[in-house]
Amino acid sequence: MKKRRAAGILLHISSLPSPYGIGTFGEESYRFVDFLKSAGQTYWQVLPLGPTGYGDSPYQVISSFAGNPYFIDLDYLVEDGLLDGKDLVQAKDSEPEGTVDYSKLFKERFSLLRKAYKKIDLIDRVEFEEFKLENSDWLEDYSLYMALKYKYDQKPYYEWPREVAKREVETLEALRQELSVELEYWSFLQYLFFFQWRNLKDYANKQGINIIGDLPIYVGRDSADVWANPEVFCLDEDYSPILLSGVPPDYFSPQGQLWGNPVYDWEYLEETDYSWWKSRISQSKHIFDGLRLDHFRGFESYWVVNSGNETAVEGSWVKGPGMQFFESLKEELQGLEIIAEDLGFLTPEVYKLKYDTGYMGMAILQFAFDGNKDNPYLPYNFENNSVVYPGTHDNDTVRGWLSKLDEQSLSKVKDYLNEQDDEKLVWEIIRAAYSSVSSLCIVQFQDILEQGSECRMNTPSSKSGNWSWRLKREDIKDEISEKLLELCRIYGR
C-alpha cells in the first residue's frame, strides 16, 4: 500500500538554541515545534536521548533506558521553585555561540542540578514515587550505577571492587543503604527529564508533529546496561568483551570503524525470548512516535573484531537473529513507525530482511552520484516505502560535501539537477529529495541553512570535535519556513 507523503527535519535536542551551553526541553524546543508546523513539516527526528559517556556520543550511552540530564531545562526549574534565577549565572554560555562545551557541562551542570534536588519537597511526591515504581526495572540499577560512578571516581564499572562489579547481593544491599540519598538524586533527575520530555512531546503531537527517535543497536561497554545485565553480552570472567562491534572498511573509513561496544549473546537472548530487548523497545515506544533502528544490517549479520585489535579491518561476519527477532518483538513495535538504517555493506539477505519486516529503508542523496545508473540512491531508483535524506548526522553537510567533490563528480551532480550555479545546488538537492517518490523526506537543519563542513554533526571514526553543533536563535526564520512550506505544497508532502 502506498504511504502518504510527508516531510520532516533532523535536529538533535543538543543543537537547539539555549543560553545554557546545550539545547534543552525549554522554550526554544516549543518554538522549534511551532516552526515545524508553520513549515508544513510533520516529523521531527532526533538522535538518541540517553545520557552520554566518554566521547559525548549519543550512540555510546551509559544507559539505553535513561534520559540525558543535560536536556533538563533550567528556566523551568526556576519557574517550579527548584532553582533561583541567580543560580543560572554559572550555567551561561562561555564558549562562542554555536558549540556545546561538554567538559564545562560535566563539571558544572550536575552541581547545579544538585541544588534543585535540595528542594525536592516542592515536587509532587506521589507522582515521583509512581514514576520510580513504574520504571523500577531499569531505574534502580541506573541510579545505583551512577552513584557508584561517583563513589569510585568515574572509573568504569569493571575497575570497581570485584564484589561490586560482580553485583554480589549483600554488597549491593549495603551500598544501597550507604548511598540512599545519591540514589534518590539520580532518580530525581530522571523524573525531571521524563516530565519535561512528556510535556514537549504532548505539545508536538497536538501541533501535528510526530517525533522520530533513534535506537543504537549497541550500548556502551561501561554502562548500566552491561553492568546490570552481563549475561546479555559476550564477556569474559573479567567483564571484558570477547568480541568488539564495528564495521569493515567502507565509505566513511578505509580502516573500518571499530566501535568497541560488546556484542550480544544472541543465543541467551533467544532463550529468554528477547526480554531485555522487549523492555528496551517498550521504553522507546513510551517516548517516541517513530523509531530509527540504527545499523539495521546487524540484525541479519554483524561484524565482529577480536578484543585487542586496533582497527576493524580484521574481523568477520556473524549471523544475527534475523526475522524471528522482529516477529518476537511484534507487539512491542506495534504502533511505532520504523525506519531501518539499511546502509553500509548490504547483501541480498539484508534486503530480504528489510522487505520481510516491511520497514522503511533509508536513501542518502550524497551516495547517489558515482556514475552508476543502477545506484540505489539515485531518486529514480527509490521505492515509496523509504525515507530520503540529503545526508544524515554521519555525513558531511551538503555544502561541505559539494565543496570536496572532484570536477567530474560535481559535474554529474549539476547535470542530474539541471543546475550549473554552485550557489543554488544545496537547495536543488533538497528539492530533489522532496520531489522523489520516497514517502518521507527528512532534511538536516544544517543543510536547510546551507552551512559548511564546520557545522557537521559527526565524522565517523574521529574521536573528538563531534556532536557540538548548535543552532542560533536567529537561524529560525519565517522565510525558511515559507520556503519549506512551498516545497511541501509543490510535491504533495
Is 349 among the residues known to form the active site?
no
CB 225 within 8 A of CB 64: yes
Report the alpha-carbon distance of residue 473 to residue 31 in Å, rounded: 10
Is 95 among the residues known to form the active site?
no
The active-site residue, picked from 289, 341, 396, 447, is 341
CB 58 within 8 A of CB 102: no
The active-site residue, picked from 141, 394, 396, 447, is 394
The active-site residue, picked from 56, 225, 294, 447, is 294
Q: Which amino acid is at 207?
A: Q
Is 273 among the residues known to form the active site?
no
CB 38 within 8 A of CB 49: no
Element (H, E) at 440: strand 440-444
Q: Which amino acid is at 39?
A: A
Tally of CA atoms within 13 A in the half-sphere of 51 that contains its CB: 24
Grid coordinates representing 5 are 507523503
Within 10 angstroms of residue 395's Cβ, the number of other Cβ atoms is: 24
Query: By CB neighbour count within 10 A (0-12 exposed, 13-18 middle, 19+ buried), where does 128 fall?
Result: middle
Grid coordinates representing 333 are 513495535
Nearest Cα neighbor of 388 from 5, 38, 49 is 5
CA distances 74 to 23, 49, 86, Å, are: 11, 17, 11
Report the alpha-carbon distance of residue 74 to residue 14 in Å, rounded: 14
Report the alpha-carbon distance of residue 338 to residue 358 in Å, rounded: 9
**Active site residue ranges:** 294, 341, 394
